[in-house]
Amino acid sequence: MSSRTLPSRTSNANNRRSNVAAFARRWIPGVYHALASVATSKLWITGVCHALASVATLTWVGDAMAAETPELMFPVPEFSDHPIPTATVPEVQGQIAPLLDVAILFAALCLASYFTLVSRSRRNVLLLTIASLLWFGFWRQGCVCPIGATQNVALAVFDPTYVVPLTVVAFFILPLVFTLFFGRTFCASVCPLGAMQELIAVRSVAVPRWLDHSLGLVAYIYLGAAVIFAATRTGFIICRYDPFIAFFRLGGNADMLIFGSCILLIGVFVGRPYCRYLCPYGAILRVLSCFSKWRLSIPPGTCINCQLCEDACPYGAIHPPTVAQTPAARRRGKRQFGFALLAAPFLVAGFWWLGTTLAVPLAQWHPESRLAEQVRLEELGVAETTTDASDAFRGSPRSVDDLYQSALTRRNDFVTLGGLLGAWTGLVIGFKLIYLSVRRRREDYQADRAGCVSCGRCYWYCPVEKVRLGLISDVSEALPDGRTPGGPLVQLTVGGKKP
Amino acid sequence: MTVETQRQTEFQRRLFSHRSILLSAIVAGVFSTLVGTVLVIDGANRLNKVPLEETTFIQLRQQYLQQSDDNQLRQQIQDLDLALRREYFREQRFTERGAYLLLGGIVVTLVFSKWAATLHRRLPRPKPKLPGPDSDERLSHRGPWAVAAVMLALVGTTWAMKANHPSVLPASLDDLASDQASVGDATPRVEPTKIDPVLPELPSAEVVQANWPSFRGPGGSGISHFQDAPTRWDGPSGEGIVWKTPLPLPGVNSPILWNDRVFLSGATEAVRGVFCFDLNSGEILWNKEFQVDPSIADQKIKVSEDTGYAAPTMATDGRFVFAMFADGLLVALDFSGNEVWTRSLGVPQRNNYGHASSLVTHQGAVIVQFDQGSDDDELSKLMSFDGATGLPIWETTRQTPASWSSPIVIEHEGQHQIITCCDPWVIASSPRDGTELWRANCLDRVEVGPSPVYSDGIVYAGNDTAIYAAIRAGGSGDVTDTHVVWTADYGLPDTCSPLVADEFLLTLASYGTLFCFDKQEGGEPLWEEDFGADFLSSPSLVGDRVYLFGRDGTAWIVQPTRDECKQIAEAQLGEDCVTCPAFADGRILIRGSEHLFCIGSGNDENQ
């Protein structure tokens, strides 16, 4: 048997690092000074140079990072005497790494809560956001995350044979507890998915509140489906359809990349689309945040109703003061509330029935049910070809009847489970209709308890905050065109707050 | 201020101006878009492209199946194979580099965009709101309609899901039976293409019994099929020694025997080898060496003085011989010494004494007990590989720590079972698919060394500091409470495997005491006999005589009865011995520390 000499991965990595460092030391200052003399004369060249220098460096680093020794990745050619590379089992991480993750999560939540509620520092929140994205996203590759942990916990609750790791439980519980005390500080700067969207929300447009509320229902339905699929071991759909996991791991299938790219692209113009309209964990946090003991307040003191913060929030989570209703509007509101109350049970029943009709498609999410369908198609001679799964099944000792029986049992189970998912959907819709018919009174600009992700973007715009920081001596200095609080920007009607 | 300083200041001002930064963001954005587009186009072109499914390659392979002796064709396939794989990995690298570039480009775009936005940050200029209904009022008006739209969308989605996911499964299995009757004339189902290689047939059970195909012979019992074996020899003088051959490489595995060939393996840190000896002459017929894979050269392979790099005893299914080494290398050779396949199972992790479990075969499959690590890291595995191809047949993960015991395959009430010992279980698995049949808890918190034995429906297993248990081989799940016939807590072995004869169970402690138990009753030993020597070699039975090989090479031949251990003979090998003997008709094959010995009568030419 022939042998070959392979450089070790470790030495490759070290070489790469040292090459990068040497490259940086040697060339970057030189390039900088060379460009300086040119750039002083032409401004546009400066910009191009900025980007080209960055891109050239990235190209070189990217190339160095991607260039693995070909032999290491090269599988055994057929019929050859190529020595088989050893499949080594990586060292088990032990208890330290999971504990470290939990400790870092706890520390990040503490910091996020402190930066948001105590120091009120948007800059620190942003830095923590970047750090969380790097650690929980790119370094830990998005796993374990509290969003996905929802499924582990659901499976552990419904299946006693499944032992959920305590780390995963901690990841699920800690953000919930912090939300109960401090609002959605997890979403603010700890969640890597939120962090990704936070950083790209550069040209956000306001989504009308009615649209925001209706699209937000999807997250609750997604939560219900995820729990049911996890509890029945059908699949962990939250993880499977995690939009950013492909980016965190620098690779994924085309569907994942396209889905993630679309979310990111939308996220440039619609702030945090995944958090607001899809995130199932965010759905839980929205509810808990309504009951949080402390939460972000936009001005550190009395609101002067300058309206600046409302425009600053890319997530539509700051609502203006309300005005008093006319008697006719009040009567209409009462009718709407009564109608919503009456409709709720019918919605639950109606969607229950609708859910029961989904037993077949829901059951087919389970790989075994899909296999049973494929095997049945093959048995009937309808399938044009076999699949890897059906070939493997036919090579196993399991009988076809056993497979069918299992699939049929699952389908029957999904009649009930589909009904439950439907009932949950009806319940959520019913609550939403009731919520929409209930009138709330606000006397100044307030962050929405459920929708505010505690990002702290509004701080910079708040004149009262600037006075607190000593940046200005009077709020009028921060208002555009010298407007003063005495001449409010909001023309309040009856019942509004008078200056 | 000097001109140079002014120039520098002006440069820095322009360099960090808003327009400059914004332009940078735009250039980086365009670059990212270009890279992304190239990646998307490239990805779309390579969608569903599998290199080894190239038409030419498949055709050549088909051709080769018909002309398997065409070396030129073989070389052609090999070259094409290599080229296709190279192309595949080149494309992979392209995508990977592109992904890094895209990520970098996006990061640069974001950083510069953010920078530009920060430099240009201004207060919003909201227009005064006009009198009229507030946003909550509008929400309560429009919100329900939007929710209604979502409800409609949900109904539509439900309908679409139902329409797109029809089921061909009937409502119940009863309906299925009637469906099957009605579709009797349908096109028969597609059978996957299967190419069965032409291989020598597996030997019959009688042939296996007449040989010594694995550790401790057929069934791992240590019992010879033959009734006669020599009782007098002297290694130093050569009396009673038919031949002795120096071993090319060290090892502590025991010889196996098939017809007139004896097989052994040996290894050092640098090289692994398999040797074939002629039974009649002791000549080394072939010696196949395997170099250590360079990719694991840096990895620490944990071994001890008692195990070394070649502790597992080889096995044969009568067609091929299989050997395993401490670095997880599993090899198969034909009887001419040609390499049939090799497979690296990975360096065993956290195995204090080095991998030592011997191989066993069953109906053409080679079974590997690969216990390692601790009981909660799921590193331990029981695996079965096709002996002819090396392809995995099944693999089961075991929540057990490292162990050094060897598996045996038994046939109980027409059902074959693989019996393995590990902390804390004796586990029976199906050799067909690896599923667990039953398990009994009797090896709690011990480093399991002795292998199990089986006789008359009972599996005997145990270890010093735990208990010894006789377990009825049947049931399912945990049978500790229902199938353990008897237990013993005295006279337990720590390394040597037991020997079960017609009436007795013999256990040999490494400190030199042989214990005899009633195999039906267990409990206290009937007697114990101390030999004043250390033992690592397990006892063997030929006829009614038990052969014991001490660590210093002294051998005792005893005849156990219910009342006593009657010593028949004592002999010397002349060098240390820690392995188990293999028995041929009238001959003993035993591996010493430096030689392979064939003990018997030199005039016996019937081998």
| Confidence at residue B155, expressed as pLDDT on a 0 to 100 scale | 93
Q: What is the mean pLDDT of residues B21-40?
A: 91
Query: Chain B residues with CB inside 8 Å of A433's CB?
Result: 144, 147
A372·B22 Cβ contact <8 A: no
Q: Are B311 and B361 in contact (CB under 8 A)?
A: no
| Confidence at residue A149, expressed as pLDDT on a 0 to 100 scale | 95
Q: Are A182 and A295 in contact (CB under 8 A)?
A: yes
**In this structure, are A268 and A416 located in the same domain?**
no
**Percent of chain B topping pLDDT 70:** 92
- Taking only the tens place, the pLDDT of each residue in B72-100 is 888 888 888 888 888 888 888 888 888 88
How does residue B177 score in pLDDT terms, banded at 50, 70 and 90?
Answer: low
Q: Looking at chain A, which residue has its C-alpha nearest residue B127?
A: A489
Q: Looking at chain B, which residue has its C-alpha nearest residue A435?
A: B140
| Confidence at residue B295, expressed as pLDDT on a 0 to 100 scale | 65
In whole angstroms, give the CA distance from residue B583 to residue B587: 6
Q: Looking at chain B, which residue has its C-alpha nearest residue A375?
A: B189
DSSP A168-181: HHHHHHHHHHHHHH
Decide if A81 is inside a domain. no
What is the architecture, at CATH level 2, of domain B205-599? 7 Propeller (2.130)
Amino acid at B9: T
Cα→Cα distances B554→A156, B91, B124, B450, B487, Å: 59, 65, 98, 21, 31
Decide if A216 is inside a domain. yes
Q: How far is A370 from chain B (nearest CA, A)?
A: 9
Cα→Cα distances B142→A206, A323, A372, A447, B208, Å: 16, 18, 46, 21, 84
Q: What is the mean pLDDT of residues B24-52?
A: 86
A211·B146 Cβ contact <8 A: yes
Which residue has tokens 């899901």? B161
Strand B484-488 to B504-508 pairing: unpaired
**In this structure, are A276 and A211 located in the same domain?**
yes
Pair of tokens at residue A34: 């060379």
* Option in B10, B24, B298 nearest A47 (CB): B24
Decide if A115 is inside a domain. yes
Which of A:361-400 have CB within 8 Å of B? 361, 364, 372-373, 376-383, 385-386, 391, 394, 396-397
B192·A394 Cβ contact <8 A: yes
List CB contacts of B122: < 8 A, sequence separation 6 or more: none
Q: Looking at chain B, which residue has its C-alpha nearest residue A261?
A: B36
Decide if A493 is inside a domain. yes
| Local structure of B194: helix, strand or coil | coil
**In this structure, are A425 and A452 located in the same domain?**
no
How does residue B178 score in pLDDT terms, banded at 50, 70 and 90?
Answer: low
Query: Chain B residues with CB inside 8 Å of A97's CB?
Result: none
B105·A55 Cβ contact <8 A: yes
Looking at per-residue pLDDT, the higher value among A491 and B389 belongs to B389
Which of A:134-173 have CB within 8 Å of B? none
**In this structure, are A427 and A485 located in the same domain?**
no
| Confidence at residue B66, expressed as pLDDT on a 0 to 100 scale | 81
A217·B150 Cβ contact <8 A: yes
Decide if A9 is inside a domain. no
**In this structure, are A348 and A433 located in the same domain?**
yes
Q: Looking at chain A, which residue has its C-alpha nearest residue B7?
A: A40
**In this structure, are A115 and A181 located in the same domain?**
yes
b/e per residue B457-484 (b: at least 16 CB within 10 A)? ebbbbbbbebbbbbbbbbeeeebbeebb
**In this structure, are A255 and A111 located in the same domain?**
yes
Q: How buried is B391 (Cβ within 10 angstroms: 0-12 exposed, 13-18 middle, 19+ buried)?
A: exposed
- Taking only the tens place, the pLDDT of each residue in B95-135 is 888 888 888 898 898 888 888 877 877 766 666 666 666 78
Q: Are A219 and A283 in contact (CB under 8 A)?
A: yes
Query: Chain B residues with CB inside 8 Å of A68's CB?
Result: 93
Q: Which domain holds residue A262?
A: 97-289
How much is the mean pLDDT over chain B?
Answer: 85
Q: Are B248 and B240 in contact (CB under 8 A)?
A: no
Which of A:300-359 have CB within 8 Å of B? 307-308, 310-312, 319-323, 325, 329, 333, 336, 340, 347, 351, 354, 357-358
Pair of tokens at residue B441: 């808890």
Query: Chain A residues with CB inside 8 Å of B57's CB?
Result: none
Decide if A91 is inside a domain. no
Flag whether pLDDT at B33 surpasses 70.
yes
| Confidence at residue B349, expressed as pLDDT on a 0 to 100 scale | 84
Q: Looking at chain B, which residue has its C-alpha nearest residue A83?
A: B293
B140·A310 Cβ contact <8 A: no
Decide if A77 is inside a domain. no
Q: What is the mean pLDDT of residues B539-567?
A: 92
| Confidence at residue A270, expressed as pLDDT on a 0 to 100 scale | 94
**In this structure, are A306 and A452 located in the same domain?**
yes
Complex ipTM value: 0.79
Q: Looking at chain A, which residue has its C-alpha nearest residue B44?
A: A254
Looking at per-residue pLDDT, the higher value among A74 and B36 belongs to B36
Tell which of A35, A84, A391, A428 to mutate to test the B interface (max B CBs under 10 Å).
Answer: A84
**In this structure, are A179 and A115 located in the same domain?**
yes
Q: How far is B205 from chain A (nearest CA, A)?
A: 24
In whole angstroms, give the CA distance from residue B347 to residue B374: 15
Query: Chain A residues with CB inside 8 Å of B28's CB?
Result: 51, 54-55
| Confidence at residue B16, expressed as pLDDT on a 0 to 100 scale | 75
Q: Is A484 on the interface with B (CB under 8 A)?
A: no
B347·A86 Cβ contact <8 A: yes
Per-residue three-class SS string for B390-444: CCEEEEEEECCCCCCCCCEEEEECCEEEEEEECCCEEEEECCCCCCEEEEEECCC
Tell which of A9, A10, A41, A58 to mutate to test the B interface (max B CBs under 10 Å).
Answer: A58
Query: Chain A residues with CB inside 8 Å of B158's CB?
Result: 354, 357-358
**In this structure, are A245 and A151 located in the same domain?**
yes
Q: Looking at chain B, which residue has its C-alpha nearest residue A430?
A: B147
Q: How buried is A91 (Cβ within 10 angstroms: 0-12 exposed, 13-18 middle, 19+ buried)?
A: exposed
Q: Are B596 and B262 in contact (CB under 8 A)?
A: yes
Amino acid at A364: Q
Amino acid at A479: L
- Taking only the tens place, the pLDDT of each residue in B146-169 is 999 999 999 999 999 988 888 888
Residue that finishes a domain, picked among A419, A437, A455: A437
What is the number of residues in chain A? 499
Flag whether pLDDT at B395 surpasses 90.
no
Q: What is the mean pLDDT of residues B186-198?
A: 43
A62·B104 Cβ contact <8 A: yes
Flag whether pLDDT at B21 surpasses 60.
yes
Q: Are B460 and B500 in contact (CB under 8 A)?
A: yes
A43·B14 Cβ contact <8 A: yes
Flag whether pLDDT at B550 surpasses 50.
yes
Which of A:6-35 have CB within 8 Å of B? 6, 8
* Option in B141, B190, B349 nearest A386 (CB): B190
**In this structure, are A269 and A134 located in the same domain?**
yes
- pLDDT 10s per residue in chain A (499 long)? 333 333 333 333 344 434 444 444 444 444 445 544 444 445 455 555 555 555 555 555 545 444 444 434 444 555 555 566 666 666 666 678 888 999 999 999 999 999 999 999 998 999 999 999 999 998 999 888 999 999 999 999 998 888 899 999 999 999 999 999 999 999 999 999 999 999 888 888 989 999 999 999 999 999 999 999 999 999 999 999 999 998 898 778 878 888 998 999 899 899 999 999 999 999 999 999 999 998 888 888 888 888 888 888 899 999 988 888 888 888 999 999 999 999 999 999 999 999 999 999 999 999 999 999 999 888 887 788 888 899 888 888 888 888 999 999 999 999 999 999 999 999 999 999 999 999 888 888 889 999 999 999 898 888 888 888 888 888 877 776 655 544 343 333 333 333 3
**In this structure, are A249 and A119 located in the same domain?**
yes
Q: Is A119 on the interface with B (CB under 8 A)?
A: no
Decide if A2 is inside a domain. no
- The tally of domains found in chain A comes to 4
B10·A92 Cβ contact <8 A: no
In whole angstroms, give the CA distance from residue B330 to residue B385: 10
Cα→Cα distances B7→A32, A37, B14, B21, Å: 14, 8, 11, 19
| Confidence at residue A51, expressed as pLDDT on a 0 to 100 scale | 54
In whole angstroms, give the CA distance from residue A297 to residue A316: 15
Query: Chain B residues with CB inside 8 Å of A479's CB?
Result: 123
| Confidence at residue B409, expressed as pLDDT on a 0 to 100 scale | 93
Which of A:397-436 have CB within 8 Å of B? 397, 401, 404-405, 407-408, 411, 425, 429, 432-433, 436
Q: How far is A296 from chain B (nearest CA, A)?
A: 21
